[in-house]
Amino acid sequence: MPIIGIDLGTTNSLASVWKDGKCQLIPNALGKFLTPSVVSIDENGEILVGQAAKERLVSHPHCTSAGFKRFMGKNTELILGNHKFSPIELSSFVLRKLKEDAEVFLGEKITEAVISVPAYFDDNGRNATKAAGELAGFRVERIINEPSAAALAYHKGNENDMSFLVVDFGGGTLDVSVVDAFSNVIEIVAVSGDNHLGGDDFNHAIANYFCKQNNIKPDTLTKETIAGLIRQAEHCKITLSKTEPVMMVAEINGEQCSAVLTNQKLVEICAPLLRRMEKPIARALRDCKSTIGEVDEIVMVGGSCNMPLIRQYITHILGKTPLFYIDSDTTVAIGAGIAAAIKERKSDLKDTLLTDICPFTLGVNVLNYEDPTNDLFSPIIERNTTLPTSRMRTYYTVHDNQSQMFIAIYQGESMYCKDNLKLGELEIDIPKASKGKECADIRFTYDINGILQVEVTCRSTGKKDELIILNPKLNLSKNQLKTKLKQLESFKLLPRDEEANKLILATASRLYEQSTGLIREQIHQHIDYFNLLLHEGNDAKIRRYRKDITQFFDQIDEDLNPTDDEILREFRDSYNDEDIEDINEQFPYEGDDEE
């Protein structure tokens, strides 16, 4: 029974499997490899996942959710219609869909997966991902960092020793890793990142610019209108990767509004976002005590790296041209599939070894003598320590006749415990004595799957206490899993064979919202006839008409997002490449040597 690899992304998700001596991407019901990480609930209570759900972001925003990966590990409730879901539950629907697609592709049941996570996900985010996998029906024994997966994909079959700086820039997160690859060993040396920076932020920046250009106050717009603007902004961003200038057009409150965008303008709009990319890169290099000159190659992965602006900016600040010989949208999934095959001990990969590191520092609380109410953080395992690892430190009593030691376990980089993430706590009895006379050895053991075992031993008595760190809010016991699975059973995924038809109806609903006049009438007529065919159940006729109506919708989409109308032609006539300042002048590097 094969183990599949999954890239559970903020914008898109996809799965892969090692088959016939290579890693193969798994297509969904629409024949695509990328499945949008969007979930919607329709009027019948059915769960839509993927492209059909994405279309409903505009027409049914109150029943649809995207970008929920950003909330993984947080106690956030997301409302779809009359139902409340956690980010874990919404992610489980996406994973269920990928599981279903994999089982159809492979012709057998799939029970285990290796799932990728941002390298900078803390324990809460990682545990939430595992829980989502369990709710989807997977056994998830292995979580892999996204840059680690990217390094696997790039180094597979390469016998040269080399080091990579992996910049993984997706829809919602930025991850940076330094990787050493030699023989069949891939060693992660340092990681850093920003869990709240991604391509989605560029979409919002463009939408905000559009509103400013047209004197529109975003807080006066409906959810449907905002969703439509963000979709238009995303389309402009993608189009700018191929041609410029582009025009963003939308009807707001009965008035036609527009704005012209170039890559130069995008530089101005998104400069603060670009600046934020520098800090994680500098930190990863500093942590591994390397300079960019000592790194052989820069690897860029993640859908947002398709933006020329991002590639140019990375080239500018690092002085090297990144590698792009693997599709940046699929690199992580390919790497996750290779990791799954390594776990499965496939004969052609049995000698490959992937080492990972601890992305955050782990430690305990100690007394702050200057402010006893504000405990200090004492590191035991430093960030970027190679996993698995086991480290021990000794701690002494701080009060006379102290009979217990209270130990709180934290994860983070702040000096003060309150600013870090609390993972758990335990107490151990100790003999009463003068302060500083009794002590306890605290050992942290952290494995490749991110499971932390804490062992505390009173040195004078030999008494031990231990704790396996499992966040009770995010890790599901067998009974909790059974209860949650039963609750989610009432939400049925849209049947696979109905997906293409549902996509047509969702697209029609979205375009109807965005159109007016005669176009609206034509959409209505097409859908009336399509519904009639669905009622008749003639599959051949449905397939033929689906092809025709898709072409019609594509034309409407093109008209809604003009790239070559009279205004743009006039703009191009006055547009001269020499007028665009060089990217180096746009972004003079101001970082100090230390950074």
Is-catalytic flag, 278?
Answer: no
DSSP codes, 3-22: PEEEE--SSEEEEEEEETTE
Contact 27, 33 (CB under 8 A): yes
Three-state secondary structure call for residue 41: strand
Task: Tell me phi and psi for residue 37, to 5 degrees.
Answer: -85, 65
Amino acid at 66: A
Of 279, 315, 277, 274, the closest CA to residue 297 belongs to 315
Of residues 7, 187, 278, 438, which has the active-site annotation? Answer: 7
Three-state secondary structure call for residue 181: strand
Contact 171, 199 (CB under 8 A): yes
Contact 78, 133 (CB under 8 A): no
With a CB cutoff of 8 Å and minimum separation 6, the contacts of 171 are 9, 10, 11, 12, 37, 67, 198, 199, 200, 302, 303, 304
Residue with tokens 């890793």: 177
Of residues 55, 122, 146, 234, which has the active-site annotation? Answer: 146
With a CB cutoff of 8 Å and minimum separation 6, the contacts of 299 are 150, 151, 154, 164, 165, 166, 167, 322, 323, 331
Of residues 54, 69, 130, 484, which has the active-site annotation? Answer: 69
Contact 392, 349 (CB under 8 A): no
Using only the alpha carbons of the chain, give its radius of gyration: 26
Q: What is the C-alpha separation between 96 and 133, in angstroms, rounded? A: 8
Residue with tokens 């007394």: 367
287 is written with which tokens?
A: 């942590």
ω into 388 cis (within 30 of 0): yes
Residue with tokens 């940046």: 328
Q: What is the C-alpha separation between 447 and 466, in angstroms, rounded? A: 16
Instruction: Give me the helix-helix angle, 51-59 and 499-514, nearest 10°.
Output: 20
Is-catalytic flag, 473?
Answer: no
Label residue 507 left, alpha or beta by phi (over 0 means left) and psi (-120 to 50 means alpha): alpha
User: What percentage of the chain's residues is helix, strand, coil (to nearest 5)?
Assistant: 40, 25, 30
Q: Which stretches of 319-433 are DSSP H helices?
A: 331-343
Amino acid at 510: R
Of residues 100, 168, 175, 200, which has the active-site annotation? Answer: 168
Is-catalytic flag, 466?
Answer: no
Q: What is the distance, to the nearest Å, from the Cα of residue 488 to the centroid of all Cα atoms in its chain?
A: 23
Is-catalytic flag, 570?
Answer: no
Q: What is the distance, to the nearest Å, from the Cα of residue 48 to the centroid of all Cα atoms in its chain?
A: 20
Q: What is the C-alpha separation between 145 and 357, in angstroms, rounded? A: 9
Q: State the catalytic residues.
A: 7, 69, 146, 168
